[in-house]
Amino acid sequence: MPDCSSGMYRHTRKVLHPKIAKLIAQFVLAAILIWFSAYFGDRYHVRGPVIIINCLIALIGLPIMSFAKSNGVRYFGVFLLTAGSNANVPTSLAYQANNIRGQWTRAFSSALFVGFAGMGGISGGTIFRSQDKPKYVPGVSAAIA
């Protein structure tokens, strides 16, 4: 949520700190999608289609979050992006772990997977530059690619 949350917190009640309350809700949806992805993938022994569906959910949410005019619509995009991207992490780890034989090879592959995810986070931190504010077109384009 690079800077799309700048105007979202003006008119909320102070039951829970507004910034915290608005950040918790999207992760609740992500946890629900993670559970459904795990259940469906384990029950029917398919993880590839689940990963593709989660990627599509995230790819729908990213442009909505970045380019919509209304804060409510942008916040909906944040929900889709967070749910889709967070649901793919355990699904992808389970997919690679189930398709690799040998304990040490599986452990090395999981560590490599997490390492590449960390490098993706580092590159994301350098792609979203402050001079591209408020739309972050180069960063969004790189994230979609």
What sign results for the dihedral spanned by CA atoms 95, 97, 100, 106? positive
Whole-prediction pTM value? Answer: 0.81
Residue 133, pLDDT score:
84
Closest Cα to residue 76, out of 127, 3, 2, 4? Answer: 4
Q: Six-digit token pair at 46?
A: 């398919």
pLDDT tens per residue across span 55-101: 999 999 999 998 999 988 999 999 999 999 999 999 999 999 889 99
> What backbone phi and psi angles, to 5 degrees, belong to 143?
-70, -35
Residue 8: band (very low, low, confident or very high) from pLDDT cuts 50, 70, 90: low
Quick check: 23 pLDDT over 90?
Answer: no
Residue 2, pLDDT score:
47
- The rounded percent of the chain whose pLDDT value lies above 70 is 86
Q: Round to the nearest angstrom and report the end-to-end CA distance of the chain.
A: 18
Residue 136, pLDDT score:
86
